[in-house]
Amino acid sequence: MNDPIIQCLTDTDVYKFNMMYLVWKLWRRTLGESAMNNRSRRVRLAEIIPEEALREQLDHALTLRFGSEELEQLESFRLEDGRPQYSSEFVKHFLADFQLPQYELKKTADGQYDMRFPGTWAQFILWETLAMSIVTELRGYYTLAAEGKKMADLYDEGRRRRDAKIERLNSYPGIRFMEFVTRRRYSRDWHDELVGELKSGLHHDQMTGTSNVWLARKYGLKAQGTQAHELFMAYARLFGNDPATVRHSQNRVLQDWWDLYGHSLSIALTDTYGTEFFFRMMTPEQARLWKGLRQDSGDPFVFGERAISFYRKHEVNPLDKLVVFSDGLDLDRIIALYERFSRLIQVAFGWGTNLGNDLGIDPISLVIKLVQICGVDCVKLSDNLAKAIGPPELVAFLSEVFGYTVGLSEECRY
């Protein structure tokens, strides 16, 4: 491969900047580490992607700086009340001087890459989607190359499937989704074309925005996102081991987020330590104030019911609130969820892998997650223990602390 996969630092999700700003503001010097995990162990990435090719792409990302157009775009973001989303010190000093910190890479005995991003949280936080886009595209490229094919050879099939999605969506003018494709996209070029085609092909503004800052700029779309597990994972470990304090840490995420962004970005991610815990932790006042919730693991139909009963319990009309479904969606599931819930609660979809990597190669379940913060290991439980991350004894401790009861509620999808 010759072309750089990552050509600008805004070719990432806007929520990474939202989280980065919080981390920079409140945890500026805090160190930690994130690491890649390929949950599709059968796909032996280190036997598919040559290490040299991978390093070349990562090294190119290291050379990137924010351009003036990108800084202007980020500085132009406004909250609902007209305040700038980010301070000018953040954009003009921190981002203007920013470069990605060094990565660590080695091959493992079982044919995977051990890829790590140690350093200052406020810096390595930006690696996540960039590295995932790189690995995902390289995996496609070299998988096809081994069969004597090129990436573009699948475009016909990809376009057929994409256009079928667009056509079908046009029968559902009420469906609202954000494209969350970036990290698992087939390729940069494919992603670019896809967003353009979605914009022109959908007749009813079904696509409310894109998570990708670069493509938002290119296509005049709204850059949209919520928040990720890493905030909840870090907060759970940054305040010591007293169970009450650890539990309280999760609400601190919501408080700190609200202090920065208020109502504008008030969609809470619910599943880091199990959705049952989340519904106990969110206060009635927060239930009233926050726009809504994001569902990212477990059974979305069960979640929808629980969200509705949660709001009713707090005397909030569910139709004033929004649920964003973002876990392993395809169009069948989107339509089923839309038809099941849209008359009861507002629904939106964060549509990723199946929207942007549906050309014939089975996508892999790749993540880059926080594994350590300030010297201690990190854990994620989620509503699906196949997605759990962290050392077993710590998983056990935090399961106890958070009263975690949800088991392996569905088969592992990949």
**Where do contacts with its own copies occur on this chain (CB under 8 A)?**
25-31, 237-241, 252, 256, 372, 374-376
Please give the DSSP secondary-structure letter assigned to residue 137: H
Q: How far is the CB of 233 from its own copies (least distance, A)?
A: 15
Nearer Cβ to its own copies, position 85 or 211? 85
Please tell me the distance from the alpha carbon of residue 396 to that of residue 221, in angstroms, as a whole number. Answer: 43
Beta-sheet strands, E only, within 290-388: 292-295, 322-325, 346-351, 366-373, 376-377
Please tell me the distance from the alpha carbon of residue 349 to that of residue 338, in angstroms, as a whole number. Answer: 9
Q: How far is the CB of 98 from its own copies (least distance, A)?
A: 16
Nearer Cβ to its own copies, position 48 or 374? 374
Residue 373, strand partner residues: 32, 376
The CA angle 402-407-409, to the nearest 5 degrees, is 130
Q: How far is the CB of 88 from its own copies (least distance, A)?
A: 12
Q: How far is the CB of 235 from its own copies (least distance, A)?
A: 8
Nearer Cβ to its own copies, position 32 or 350? 32
Q: How far is the CB of 308 from its own copies (least distance, A)?
A: 33
Nearer Cβ to its own copies, position 24 or 277? 24
Nearer Cβ to its own copies, position 22 or 36? 22
Nearer Cβ to its own copies, position 44 or 248? 248
Q: How many alpha carbons lie under 13 Å from residue 46 in its C-beta half-sphere?
A: 15
201: its two tokens = 């092909």
DSSP secondary structure letters along 230-292: HHHHHHHHTT-S-HHHHHHHHHHHHHHHHHHHGGGG-EEE--TT-HHHHHHHS-HHHHHHS-E
Q: How far is the CB of 247 from its own copies (least distance, A)?
A: 15
Cβ-contact 300, 327 below 8 angstroms: yes
248: its two tokens = 């309280």
Please tell me the distance from the alpha carbon of residue 88 to that of residue 74, in angstroms, as a whole number. Answer: 10
Q: How far is the CB of 110 from its own copies (least distance, A)?
A: 26
Nearer Cβ to its own copies, position 103 or 351? 103
Rounded to 5 degrees, φ, ψ at 403 are 60, 40
Nearer Cβ to its own copies, position 26 or 145? 26
Q: How far is the CB of 370 from its own copies (least distance, A)?
A: 14
Rounded to 10 degrees, what is the CA torsion of 279, 285, 291, 294? -10
Q: How far is the CB of 375 from its own copies (least distance, A)?
A: 4
Nearer Cβ to its own copies, position 120 or 264? 120
The CA angle 386-414-336, to the nearest 5 degrees, is 95
Please tell me the distance from the alpha carbon of residue 398 to that of residue 247, in angstroms, as a whole number. Answer: 9
